[in-house]
Structure 1
Amino acid sequence: MTAVIEVEGLTKRYGRLTAVDHISFTVGHGEVVGFLGPNGAGKTTTIRMLLGLIKPTSGRKRVLGEERLSRAASKVGSVIEEPSFYPYLSGRDNLRLAATLYGGVDEKRIYQVLELVGLLGRERDRVSKYSQGMRQRLGLAQAMLPRPELLVLDEPTNGLDPDGVVEIRNTIKALGQSGVTIFLSSHLLSEVERVASRVIIIEKGKIKADGSVKDLLSRLAGGKAVMKLRTGDLDRTAQLLSAQPWAKEFTRDDTSLRLILAAQDVERVMPILVGAGIKIYEFDQEDFSLEDLYLGTVQEGHHNHAAQGGRA
């Protein structure tokens, strides 16, 4: 597999603070890779080094075989958080302006990317009338104008409502299926799980996990079970479980607990709750998710996860 991104010993320090600490990884052609980690883990710093926006303190990085991104710039598209456009111009005219910067981008290509991101039919509308999800999709269209081989996305769903998130997810899936290599940073773990075939998890500037989603989840599941639990008293249930040394790892929302424990300990849950007089409405096994992997990898995931939403 041809390497599109090669990172070796990449480090970035700001005074005494080490934001990225000697990380190494490669991304092959056609991969869709989720880059995950808590706030301040080094995700955006890594992306900015890859894009040549900041210089590394040490280490090496190559993008499409080039250490200087300027030599491969026409083959790389990026969306860093919320893209900006001229609000009084149409989506199409904003893309026309961007096309003049790239060179070699004709009107046909503009309409191709508009169709790719699902904006055909709205291309004549002013951007001021676009929803945030539409503006994000227009940002993806702009990044795709020069037919890049690599697309780098840093939090492309920031600030979007659920409909906007779905719009961006579907667009990213379509781009990945078209053969574009995608390197994606996002705090929405469920969305990353739907589009990425591989994840890299970074914490405190160091890579903690790297592999296919399937393999990492299989490794996590070894000897463990995920149980969904709904009871008549979730507060009391959480209190009882947290007192058990074998039941320390769980998440909670308004209606249920999601418990990760050794498979042989599953049968120990019911007697404790029944003995305490707690009504049990549901106790079912579920599949492991990317959130389970994430929480089990970063430090915040070692004990009693009250619903954190998996923010990275």
Structure 2
Amino acid sequence: MIRVEGLTKSYGSRSVLTGVTFDAAPHAVTGFLGPNGSGKSTSLRVIVGLAEADRGSATVLGRRFRDLPDPRRVGILLDSGAFHPGRTARETLRLSARLMSIRAQRAEECLEVVGLSEAAGKRVGQFSLGMRQRLGLAHALLGDPEVLILDEPANGLDPQGVRWLRTLLSGLADRGGTVLLSSHALSEVERIADRVVVLRGGEVVASGAGAEVTGGTWCRVSTEDDQALARALSSAGLAYRMQPHHGLVVAAVPPLVGTVARDAGLVVHELCLSPQLSLEDVVVGTAPASASESSLTKEATNARL
């Protein structure tokens, strides 16, 4: 279990995290998503004790990471480029195993798990990005962990490697493990994650199962005066977002939106159901609101849009 409560972090006058709160539960893969600069990396660094929050707390298995009696229970991959380029893959893992009081044979087992047995004698500096990612995963697995915390683990992997990674993480979750996975590969996260947490601007803007975050009914509408329609939708308490060129996307069924437009005396040019939101819509902020925001007041909802 990973529990993050009210994390707030600033660097000088720049606010990076503002009250970030979420859980990553056992028996599940939790996708940790957001645009660049949203606060994902800072959150992960706080969770594993590499940064201190100004306020709030982050615990793993019920304790701060640095207070765990056996930190081997947590596998971490934040930077696959941190390994010494002059050492071989085998030397890298065996040295870490010795420092962690893990039997040397475990290094060989992890190399086999990640598909690097044949490259074990090759220097890390000669590895491709995908091979370094596999080595980072092998390092994270050394202690046979109950919790995995991974930042962009699929970066550089070929399609076969991505499929292998999916199987690996799903298998760990099925055995009761906790996986927190930060990634920009949204289509892959949709396939593997049981739950997602979405950060934007240092705040959690959506959290829940994929269907909860992207679900709901949306429609696309355009009228003779979209600004007037926007004002009418606000008065009716409906969340909406102006489209880049023309029209709006509204968090409501078409008949309701049509009624609002009619009562406002507007001629409707287009009114139809909009395709279900994708995870990309939620992450980059093109959605009018997520299902998790449906309980917000009209003023709060439109302020966030």
Q: Sequence identity of aligned pairs in percent?
A: 38
Q: Distance in 1 between matches of 2:243 and 2:131?
A: 37
* Residue type of the alignment partner of 2:179: I
Query: Match of 1:111?
Result: 108
* 1:82 matched residue in structure 2: 80
Structure 1 residues 194 and 250: CA distance shift in structure 2, 3 A: farther
- 2: distance between equivalents of 1:151 and 1:203? 23
- 1:27 alignment partner in structure 2: 24
SS of the residue 1:46 aligns to: helix
SS of equivalent to 1:41:
coil
**1:192 Cα shift?**
1.2
After alignment, is 181-190 or 83-92 more displaced? 83-92
Q: What stretches of structure 2 of length at least 5 have no aligned partner?
A: 231-239, 259-268, 290-305
Match of 1:294 in 2: 283
Structure 2 vs 1, CA of residues 249 and 175 (structure 1 numbering), >3 Å: closer, same or farther? farther
The SS at the match of 1:74 is helix
* 1:82–1:158 Cα contact (<8 Å) kept: no
Consecutive unaligned residues in structure 1, runs of 5 or more: 227-239, 252-258, 274-283, 304-312
> Partners of 1:163 and 1:113 in 2: how far apart?
18
Q: Shift of the alpha carbon at 1:188? A: 1.6
**Shift in alpha-carbon separation, 1:128–1:9, aligned structure 2, 3 A:** closer
Secondary structure at 1:48 match in 2: helix
- Mapping for residues 1-312 of structure 1, pairs under 5 Å: 4-71=1-68, 72-107=70-105, 109-158=106-155, 165-166=162-163, 168-218=165-215, 221=216, 223-224=217-218, 264=254, 288-295=277-284, 298=285, 301-302=287-288
Check the 8 A contact 1:133/1:167 in 2, yes or no. no
SS of the residue 1:151 aligns to: strand
Partner AA of 1:290 in structure 2: L
Q: CA deviation at 1:54?
A: 1.0
CA contact (8 A) 2:129 2:155 kept: no
Q: Secondary structure at the match of 1:148?
A: coil
SS of aligned partner of 1:60: strand
CA distance in 2, matches of 1:182, 1:38: 20
CA–CA distance in structure 1, aligned partners of residues 51 and 60 of structure 2: 15
Q: Which residue of 2 aligns with 1:308?
A: none
- How many residues in Structure 1 have an aligned counterpart in Structure 2? 261
User: 1: CA distance between counterparts of 2:241 and 2:5?
Assistant: 37
Shift of 1:172: 3.3
In 2 relative to 1, CA 29–173 (structure 1 residues): closer, same or farther, beyond 3 Å? Answer: closer
Partner of 1:256: none
Aligned partners of 1:248 and 1:61: how far apart in 2? Answer: 34
Per-residue deviation, residues 70-95 of structure 1 (Å, max 9, x unmatched)? 42522211111333334444322321
Structure 2-normalised TM-score? Answer: 0.71
1:193-226 CA-partner distances (Å, limit 9, x unpaired): 12211011112221111111133233xx3x2369
Task: List per-residue Cα deviations over 1:135-158 (Å, max 9, x = no partner).
Answer: 101111111101121111112234
Q: CA deviation at 1:52?
A: 0.6
Distance 1:36 1:98, change over 3 A: same
Check whether the contact 1:13–1:20 (CA below 8 A) recurs between aligned residues: yes
RMSD of aligned Cα (Å): 3.6
Partner residue of 1:306? none
CA contact (8 A) 1:77 1:144 kept: yes
Distance 2:64 2:83 in 1: 30
Return the letter of the residue paired with 2:128: S
The answer as to whether partners of 1:105 and 1:145 remain within 8 angstroms in 2 is no
Specify whether residues 174 and 84 from structure 1 end up closer, same or farther in structure 2 by C-alpha distance, changes over 3 A only. farther
User: Structure 1 length normalisation: TM-score?
Assistant: 0.69
